[in-house]
Amino acid sequence: MKTIKGLTLAGLALLLMTSMSLYSCGGAGSSDKKTSDSTSGDDNMLLGAGSTFDYPLFSKMFSEVNKINGLKVNYQSIGSGGGILQLTNKTVDFGASDAPLNGKQDSGMTAPAIHIPVTAGAVVISYNLPEMKDTLKLSPALVSDIFMGKIKKWNDAKIAAANKGVKLPATDIVIAHRSDGSGTTNIFTTYLAKVSPDWEKTVGKGSSVNWPTGLGGKGNEGVAGLIKQTPGAIGYIELAYAIQNSMAFAVVQNKAGNWITPSIASVTSAANIQIPADTKVSLTNTDAVDGYPISGFSWVLLYKEQKYGDRTVDRATKLVKLLQWMVHDGQQYSSALNYAPLAPGAVSAADANLKSITYDGKPILQ
């Protein structure tokens, strides 16, 4: 596996944009020193880490909440796996993940963790074919075969059959994937495992997998940078990153056989399902006839019992009220950034979980 060590101007621009956004919303970087103790210090500065999928939305939300009440949120966009690890080590107040905790991760926590859904979004298949003006169409079988390395050229007959009348280049296909533990990878590989028995058997699903081929980039930013700098590249990134950086992305055939463009509407359709009490649910390969098949919820993770270490009741209360604001008033910022606002069922489940959070055994929200 090759991992990107340097980016061209396009990649550097993406990283610079991320760094500037982190500074503007109170995120001062990703050094361990800055997150060495989430249980003491300034109770008006909350620490979070995790999902890069969520980062554009979180940047806006945390900037707005700071204007309202002066609360600062230092959020590190380091990937879902990193956020889970930092929450496990209690070096942040909350983690953010595009995949719910699995059994091993749950057992690694020193106390029960709560899942609060905060948004839903699309993982898009972005590509770099500068001479192609038509939008690429991909069936589930094509997505699987391309990312397994079975289809190596863009003008392969199988791709041409799904894109009739489109002039495809004889360019080599270069796969771009995540090199870090990633909820975005979990959504994408869960989808592939559902639609391809071969993928499920040989690669599997999870936040990290052994990729059959390709280049690795860290975070949605890193994969986007790889795609932009590499003619013939194809990879998976969050919809907001693709739109904000004017990147092409494919229309994907869903379970009903319909060709679906990733959008707020098609993600909302995929997310219109029954939400279990623990909110752990996958939206991939949806049955919804108008649903985009590579959609997913994203969650904020925190400990159910907030009295641990040197944490104060004030700090715990600010955290829970922040999440309550994100689930309700904060949703108004979703659509403009190409995230799907939470459906009523998801909001109800989030509210129930928030009300279960305690400090010294007593509910924080009355």
Q: From residue 1, how far is each of 13, 201, 220, 222, 241 by CA, in Å?
A: 25, 20, 18, 15, 24
Question: Are 191 and 264 within one domain?
Answer: yes
Query: Are the C-beta atoms of residues 322 and 330 closer than 8 Å to each other?
Result: no
Does the residue 289 lie in any domain?
Answer: no
Mean pLDDT along residues 275-292: 95
Same domain? 131 vs 96: no
The owner of tokens 């319909």 is 258
The pLDDT tens digits for 146-171 are 999 999 999 999 999 999 999 999 99
Digit-coded pLDDT (tens) for 160-201? 999 999 999 999 999 999 999 899 999 999 999 999 999 999
Q: Which of 30-34, 186-190, 263-267, 357-361 has the lowest mean pLDDT?
A: 30-34
Q: Is residue 358 part of a domain?
A: yes
Q: In Å, how far are 166, 227, 278, 321, 366 from 329, measured between CA atoms?
A: 44, 35, 22, 11, 19
Q: What is the pLDDT of residues 311-339, one digit of tens each?
A: 999 999 999 999 999 999 999 999 999 99
Same domain, 138 and 227: yes
136 with 106, same domain: the answer is no
The two structure tokens encoding residue 245: 């950086």
Give the count of alpha carbons within 13 A of 99, CB side only.
28
What's the token pair of residue 264? 């707020």
Domain encompassing residue 204: 123-270
DSSP letters, 80-121, are HHHHHHHHHTT-SSEEEESS---HHHHHHSSS-EEEEEEEEE
Do 127 and 104 share a structural domain? no
> Residue 70: inside a domain, yes or no?
yes
Q: 310 and 252 in one domain?
A: no
Residue 181 within a domain: yes
pLDDT for the residue 41: 60
pTM for the predicted model, two decimal places: 0.84
Q: What is the DSSP letter of 259?
A: E
The predicted-structure confidence for 65-121, as pLDDT tens digits, reads as follows: 999 999 999 999 999 999 999 999 999 999 999 999 988 898 889 899 999 999 999
**C-beta separation of 96 from 46 below 8 A:** no
Residues 129 and 234 in one domain: yes
**Where would I find the beta strands (DSSP E) of 304-336?**
none
Domain match, 141 and 254 both: yes
Residues 237 and 319 in one domain: no
Q: Is residue 291 part of a domain?
A: no
Q: Are residues 109 and 138 in the same domain?
A: no
Among residues 270, 288, 312, the one where a domain terminates is 270
Q: What is the per-residue pLDDT for 42?
A: 83
Q: Is 279 domain-assigned? A: no
- Beta carbons within 10 angstroms of residue 94's beta carbon: 26
For residue 197, give every residue at least 6 positions away whose Cβ sits within 8 Å of its Cβ, in sequence order, or none.
none
Domain count, the chain: 2
Shared domain for 302 and 336, answered yes or no, is yes
* Residue 142, pLDDT above cutoff 50: yes
How much is the pLDDT for 260? Answer: 98
Residue 150 is predicted with a pLDDT of 97
Co-location of 224 and 312 in the same domain: no
CATH of the domain at 40: 3.40.190.10
**Beta-bridge partners for 169:** none
Mean pLDDT, range 20-46, rounded to an integer: 49
In a domain, 290, yes or no: no
Contacts of 171 (CB under 8 A, 6+ apart): 129, 153, 154, 155, 231, 232
In a domain, 288, yes or no: no
Cα–Cα distance, 245 to 21 (Å, whole number): 15
